Structure 1
């Protein structure tokens, strides 16, 4: 077999090449290095489907009884209501089938994401933007893990704890790898006098800029994101900026912002 030269070549072979081999072909194309870990799809939970079936059966039975004793209008209404949990169960079954073959594969220099019926998406740590919808600030705080990955060329993938098992592990691994790889580059850029963008926000040696409004570091007392929004404290007053979920590579932004706030350039 000839090794694909482009992502399109990898995608075009998906019907004839085993999934594991297809993933490693993408990893080879992206130069992701050695394989480190695999996270498979979350096991299908049939409890919800069974519960819907029980509820639908009970409502339908009552509807039949009501119709049999002469209340046919009420019986028909109950049968219509019984259809709702049936539809929910069917929808859940479709999702379970779609997720069955899903997997995340971590490599030394990046990650691949696959969902049933879709192309294998590959991302390198040095060029990936990660948007996380909920940021854990304490280990005891419950968090719903949902990450949006985007890379050069418009490659995108969304991964969440409903689709993939061991969410805390893969979320931490991805965020840690992206931060460790890209943080030194961002620090060097700022030291060289450049401005580093993070969505609607940007950071430089002199200020944090939000939608063209420059906020000097010496005026910023605190930076907080525990409410789900980036907030800063100016002269004792809190100012809300952008939602955390819109900030690409939030952990890099947070580390840089704290460093610049605590050591402003005089």
Structure 2
């Protein structure tokens, strides 16, 4: 690709008793249930930034003072309107406070063979590296100015979790660790599938020894000159013309797709 891309019977039973069972114990119960192996690292919630809350308080106080003054000088209609308007930033501040409290208990725990994710009020979700699909909103490249880290994890049975830098601290670290672990674990099986003459599917894209297929249209590897994803879309260059296919965020396990596609493009069959 052009550019370098850098003991309850079930854990759910314990989660139902989260008011009496410590969170750390619930996480390790899930890890044991999923056979995730040894614990490696923990990423806690992003520290709450109360600048927004303070700003809302200042705005609300200023508007309220003006409203009181207007009422005192007889312009009571304008004063009442301003007092009502002052309630809006107060409500916004209250909402942000609730979100901050909910995020305070959030944490990501990495293990040898997978990851657990917890957000306040939700069950602990467990994902194994060998069976998880990860979608990333934007993919960092060496020439990328800024990247917003947002990952969507999907496991067997429809278990899902969304990880974002607003909710979890050290986003660059956990994003890279998760992507690297899933890629290293699942890539060998994907390569073997291709080598056996079968097809590997990534959302609307599929790869085989002969071609890259998008929906019902196939592009033979010898006709693909470049593959690029820096625009946020997968694009291919054939016969001097760029063709945009699908957003990067829709491709499960993008880094596995990228590695396979580059290998096949550079060494096409025949």
TM tier, shorter chain?
A: over 0.9
Q: Residue 18 in 1 paired to residue 22 in 2? A: yes
Unmatched 5+ residue regions in structure 1?
Answer: none
CA distance in 1, matches of 2:77, 2:214: 60
CA distance in 2, matches of 1:234, 1:64: 69
Do 1:130 and 1:175's aligned partners in 2 also have CA atoms closer than 8 Å? yes
State the Cα RMSD in Å: 1.3
Unmatched 5+ residue regions in structure 2?
Answer: 1-6
Deviation at 1:51, TM superposition (A): 0.9
Residue from 186, 189, 192 that aligns with 2:190: 186
* Number of the residue aligned with 2:61: 57
* Number of the residue aligned with 2:42: 38
CA distance in 1, matches of 2:208, 2:97: 50
Taking structure 1 as the reference length, the TM-score comes to 0.95
SS at match of 1:130: strand
CA distance in 1, matches of 2:77, 2:223: 69
CA distance in 2, matches of 1:257, 1:76: 64
1:60-86 C-alpha deviation (Å, 9 max, x unpaired): 111221232232232233223222211
CA distance in 2, matches of 1:12, 1:61: 48
Q: Residue 103 in 1 paired to residue 119 in 2? A: no
Do 2:212 and 2:221's aligned partners in 1 also have CA atoms closer than 8 Å? yes
* Number of the residue aligned with 1:233: 237
Taking structure 2 as the reference length, the TM-score comes to 0.94
* Number of the residue aligned with 2:4: none
Q: In the comparison of the two structures, how many residue pairs are matched?
A: 264
SS at match of 2:145: coil
Do 1:202 and 1:208's aligned partners in 2 also have CA atoms closer than 8 Å? yes
Residue from 126, 130, 135 that aligns with 1:131: 135
* Number of the residue aligned with 1:48: 52
SS at match of 2:213: strand
Do 2:36 and 2:128's aligned partners in 1 also have CA atoms closer than 8 Å? yes
Q: Residue 195 in 1 paired to residue 226 in 2? A: no
SS at match of 1:64: helix
